[in-house]
Chains A and B, each alone.
Chain A
Amino acid sequence: MSDVLIVTEHRRGELRDVSFEMISAGRELADETGGKLHAAVISGDVDTFADQVNRDGVDAIHTISDGEEFNHDIYTQALEQLANELDTSYVLIPHSVNGLDYAPAVAEALSLPLVTDAVAHSFDGTLEVTREQYGGKVETTIEVEADRAALTIRPAEWPQADGMGEADISTFDAAIDESAIRSTVTGFEEAAGGDVDISEADVLVSIGRGIEEEENLPLIEALVEATDATLSSSRPVVDNGWLPANRQVGQSGKVVTPDVYIAIGISGAVQHVAGMKGADTIIAINTDANAPIYDLADYGIEDDLFDVVPALIEEFGGSVPDM
């Protein structure tokens, strides 16, 4: 019997969706190992969170009330003690920004091998984990030649569990060493606002690394003007300082659901896709036919954007800037 422990995630008083995905990922593994599925709820209003996490598939919920907002020192200590107490074989943690802030420490504290960013797992006496490499260009199978392990689970890969659960909810008294808490969350800030809200746009013309240089921006701006669309981008364009943060689509930027999303020179990394997969119609312009953006594009042009975009501008009666 190999039990599974999942960790839920909340921020500013709300459980995040990934918590319910963790239930599905954890249940799937527990069904294969024949073990129980435990869920940990740590910090904040744990009683309310526990009721919300009590969905179909969870056998036991353990609440640890120390702390308010996420703090990795509390999470690490609490999970080390809880996993030891429950004697769980597998600890599953979201591959979220906060998950990245404590999962490696928990694995280290428990001496567990760690496999991160799992997109699938299976157990047949041995645990096998599927994860991507090289920006999603390949998948790999990692075999865990140990009875125990920690995994981080990629968000939005498993469905959210629903249906009322019948879990036993209990309090776990963790002995938190306050002197080991050497970081303090002092607040939250919203990333740069600005005058444009890309999540309100009907048509987004979105650019990525394929634009190559800042000097090529006027070409895209001319297309935006000719089509009366709104300009957005993937992360590298904002990282380079070519567009402000309020134009960024993706996990760390905005989630958009326009009628039409035209992805120009965007490969479609998972973090970007998280922000635009809800668009009605997705059109990709990318020279790489294997780019992941084509996994979800409805229409595609496998051609050089510097040839296609000028033709598009002319098609809409705009003028192509001198480059």
Chain B
Amino acid sequence: MKVLVTVAEVAEVEDKFEVSDDEIAEQYLTYDLNEWDDYAVEEAVQLSEEEEDVEVITATIGPERSEETIRMTLAKGADRAVRVWDEAIESADYLDINSKADLLAAVVEEENPDLVLSGVQSGDKANGATGVSLAQKIGFEWGAVVNKLELDVDGGVATVHRELEGGVEEVTDIETPAVLTIQSGINEPRYASLRGIRQAQRKPLDVQTLEDISLDADVVESPLAQTSMYKPESESDTTMWTGSPEDEAAQLADLLRNKGVVDA
């Protein structure tokens, strides 16, 4: 069985940052494996430990910088990785959901996996849509926001819990091959071991251009354009308590006492 996990490297913004020319300057950004994808990788690696003959492949759309993050998924137990990138993607004005799903669909066609796992959303763009869009493109069944997965490999059914709002979970049987978008909390992602990190250096990481996956450059064209980025205007009218931690604590305590919600 082949499990393909789509993983993204995401940017995290520091507490204090500036937006200039409709983007956040590089100095305020740090890059890491997308939190939801970390859970998806863990779910795939656990499957490979429970079932016979499971190959786990991670697929990433990302520049060379993202190879460190991709190596991390290999160190955690993925067998090999594919990174899609070239000049056309690099120079795209706005890589939209449709383009990303097209790129990943081309990788899926090459790899022909039985199961695709994808994080529910990315921490930076937070579209929450690539996985299901991909499923529709490749004709796989799918399930979004999965927080429990039991796979019946021979029966070709994934029994999943989908995490709905308000503490309710939907139990659904999904025919495979399928794309499942994985919710945080489904498992406890492991840390990479030193041995895993060493092994990861020797695992294959193939870089593929658009040409390699039989796509034309127009795949990254979009009818969408991001025309501005700004910090939202603060709606804050918070009364700030200041002073030493003891002063601040005393003011908070006074409020609770005045409200009569504490006896102490």
| Residue contact B136 to A116, C-beta cutoff 8 Å | no
Within 8 A of B (CB), among A88-141: 95-98, 100-105, 107-109, 113-117, 128, 132-141
B171 touches A187 (CB 8 A): yes
**A97-B145 in contact (CB<8A):** yes
Q: Is the CB of B248 within 8 A of A311?
A: yes
Pair B231/A134 contact, Cβ less than 8 Å: no
Is the CB–CB distance between A104 and B132 below 8 Å?
A: yes
Instruction: Report the bound CA distance from A197 to B181 in whole Å.
Output: 30
Stretch with Cβ within 8 A of B (4 or more), from A28-36, A44-52, A55-63, A298-306: A298-306
Q: Is A65 an interface residue (CB 8 A)?
A: no
Give the Cβ gap from A179 to chain B, nearest Cβ, in Å.
11
Minimum distance in angstroms from A121 CB to a CB of chain B: 13
CB distance from B55 to the nearest CB of A (A): 24
Residue in B closest to A252 when the chains form the complex, CB atoms: B163
| Measured CA separation A188–B165 after assembly (Å) | 12
Q: Write the B166-197 contact mask toward A (1 if CB under 8 angstroms, else 0).
A: 11111111110000010011001000000000
Which residue of A139, A146, A183, A188 is within 8 Å of B141 (Cβ)?
A: A183
CB pair B248–A303 under 8 Å, yes or no, is yes
- Contact B133 A108, beta carbon cutoff 8 Å: yes
Task: Type the 1/0 row for A51-93, where 1 means its CB is closer than 8 Å to any CB of B.
Answer: 0000000000000000001101100100000000000000000
Once bound together, how far apart are the Cα atoms of A105 and B174, in whole Å?
16
- The reply on A281 being an interface residue by CB < 8 A is yes
Residue of A185, A191, A304 touching B171 (CB-CB under 8 A): A185
Residues of chain A contacted by B161 (CB below 8 angstroms):
189
Contact A301 B256, CB 8 Å, known A187-B171, A239-B185, A308-B245: no
Tell me the complex Cα distance, A307–B249, Å.
Answer: 10
Whether a CB of chain B sits under 8 angstroms from the CB of A235 is: yes
From B13, B236, B238, B252, contact of A312 by CB (8 A)? B252
From A107, A114, A239, contact of B184 by CB (8 A): A239
Are the CB atoms of A300 and B241 closer together than 8 Å?
A: yes
| Interface 1/0 per residue, B221-264 and A, CB below 8 Å | 01111111111101110111110011011111101100101111
How far is the CB of B120 from the nearest CB of chain A, in Å?
A: 7
- Whether the Cβ atoms of A299 and B239 lie closer than 8 Å is yes
8 A-B pairs closest in CB distance = A311-B249, A239-B185, A104-B133, A104-B132, A307-B245, A101-B144, A146-B223, A182-B175
Show 25 A/B contacts (Cβ-Cβ < 8 Å), sorted by A.
A11-B164, A102-B132, A105-B136, A107-B129, A108-B98, A108-B101, A108-B136, A116-B129, A117-B127, A138-B24, A139-B229, A142-B224, A182-B175, A187-B170, A191-B163, A203-B261, A259-B259, A290-B15, A290-B16, A291-B15, A294-B234, A299-B239, A299-B252, A314-B249, A316-B253
